[in-house]
Amino acid sequence: MTNAFIALDYTDLALAALLILLNGGLSLWLGLGLERQLGVATLRMCVQLGLMGLVLKVLFDIVSPWLTLTAALVMVLFAGYEIRARQDTRLRGWWSYGLGAGAILFAGGLVAIFALTLLVQPDPWYHPRYVIPLLGMILGNAMTGIAVGLNNLTDRMRRERSAIETMLALGETRVAAFRPAMRAAVRAGLIPIVNSMSAAGIVFLPGMMTGQILSGIDPVEAIKYQVMIMFLLAGGTGLGVVAAVQVAALLLSDNRQRLRLDRLAVD
């Protein structure tokens, strides 16, 4: 048995892409109307990952803290954009973007720096080979959690407006009146990562660990990495969701502790 890494050639990728064609065929056969979306998503993924490959190659060759920081910021900015795009109801104005981007910058930055300086400790600590993949995984999960959490909060605030305003009218503080909606929103944001931790190793093998095993790393080492990554993902998602929901709740009230749904852009 060999531990050698098996490199793929482009014929392998083309063969794998047949599965996408199969999906397209199924969509046509079942009248799902998904062919166009599937095609665009496939193309986007190939182009985005291709570009990322080129960027990573340059970053790995140069190993500059400023270039790494720039790449990390670009990732954060796109994550913020993605969070905004996933909101059914957004805050008006700049906050529609700034809230998600700010929360993910705070949580992703903090957890990534913690991992790089205290856990993995690459030399130098800003080495892009570690910064970019770690940050990417943390941002990916935090982004989903924050988007779900914020969506849940604004949805609840609107649906439960009458209950919230009744509590406020009785003289409750906004903290007390918003608490049920905030709790539910944070729970909704955290459930995907909690489920993911519960199912890891039994229902599915996480991608990073699978990648390491495929590249010839000892499975025990790969699992140790994966466990650390899961902790980082849970930490980043938790911090991000709590920060985003807290700030959103503040933005949806004012200094007189009123509910300000007029700050949501409702079509």
Query: Which chain residues interact with another protein by CB under 8 A?
Result: 160-173, 180, 254, 256-260
Query: Judged by CB, which is closer to another protein: 107, or 168?
Result: 168
Tell me which residue of 152, 182, 145, 155 sits closest to 167, measured CA to CA.
Answer: 182
Minimum CB separation of residue 189 from another protein in Å reads 21
**Integer CA distances (angstroms), 25 to 13, 16, 40, 74, 115, in order:** 19, 15, 15, 36, 44
Query: Judged by CB, which is closer to another protein: 6, or 170?
Result: 170
Query: Judged by CB, which is closer to another protein: 221, or 262?
Result: 262
Q: Is the CB of residue 176 less than 8 Å from the CB of residue 167? A: yes
Minimum CB separation of residue 190 from another protein in Å reads 22
Minimum CB separation of residue 14 from another protein in Å reads 57
Minimum CB separation of residue 265 from another protein in Å reads 17
Query: Judged by CB, which is closer to another protein: 95, or 225?
Result: 95
Query: Judged by CB, which is closer to another protein: 86, or 258?
Result: 258
Query: Judged by CB, which is closer to another protein: 163, or 194?
Result: 163
Distance CA 67, CA 193 (A): 30
Distance CA 240, CA 248 (A): 12
Minimum CB separation of residue 166 from another protein in Å reads 4
Helix H or strand E segment including 265? strand 264-265
Residue 91: DSSP 8-state: E
Query: Judged by CB, which is closer to another protein: 184, or 217?
Result: 184
CA geometry: angle 113, 95, 253, nearest 5 deg: 110
Distance CA 113, CA 102 (A): 16
Minimum CB separation of residue 137 from another protein in Å reads 38
Minimum CB separation of residue 256 from another protein in Å reads 4
Q: In the numeric block, which tokens belong to residue 228? A: 């650390």
Residues 6 or more apart whose Cβ sits within 8 Å of residue 76: 101, 104, 105, 108, 109, 139
Distance CA 182, CA 159 (A): 13
